[in-house]
Chains A and B, each alone.
Chain A
């Protein structure tokens, strides 16, 4: 019984290691994923620069993917992990990372304007004065009334 314990512990450790480390099947050409479900213009980096991505295009690690406006694509890793890209995002194909970490990697390239709730509530007062001044300017600084 005592001799079984270390064996069980080693087996459990190995099993844990196998579960913790993502196992990416790497093809002979070094690619680890492919581009699928492309909508719009999706660009893929090559040594010579960006080129248009095509359906089922194989992807090497360190390849940059760029979606243009109104474009979408999915990067499907050979282990089944699917990374969804929306419009105006970039993503660099990485290996040796867990799927949960990969799917959150696509980053927006264009900064979306902030909701600016504070600005919208505070600024109108200032804006009103400035805007009105601008609008009535054509009257030589006078309002409707000459009084």
Chain B
């Protein structure tokens, strides 16, 4: 074999290895999408079908609230409301993260304040705190201030996933904005707030989108706070809906998988639309903290 041939063979070997790795990484997602279109009979037949087998929309009809004759009623009922709830929680978390994080990150990067070091350190440490610790306390605190079972309560709790991360990522970004921009606006007589709103925010669109995407996914995918702060009455996001479908002894797999696939939709949409922001956010946020 010539040198060039060997190099080519090696390249294809790499492709093959990568393909196998991707197969393992993507297979679970594939399996649940295929499974969500299987009939209850197929799912309980004791055989796993690698390819779609007698596809049906029954599971989606069940979880979206149009029970057909073929599927029995499930315990938890329709998930349509749950999808809307999750959307609201995700958008609320994104909004909260932006309102809190964008000005804070700006102050922490462009103003010489005495507290900067302390606050940045606290934010780094805050990222480490396990959510179950916060959830246990917040349950009682929220009970005390009447925020249990409410959207504001859940969104405030979900902010803990997003806000420290958001401030640190945005702060790193703001460092890259030249100070001359702000100085020029100030010399022209713009107030600090106007400078921030009309110069800084528009220039940081990409970082702001990254942060908003992550905060939305955090709110959409949250389970711990939904499980603890919403104790069953009224508000039910999709993650909790899926959990409620999981029985202790028998699981309605069709309904579980159709709900799970619905819960994947935003991630899928964002992966296609905002891939650039997601990849940059992952590396920037994690490595630079």
B is bound to A: no
The chain A residues found within 8 Å of chain B, CB to CB, are none
Where the two chains meet, the residues of B that have a C-beta atom closer than 8 Å to any C-beta of A are: none
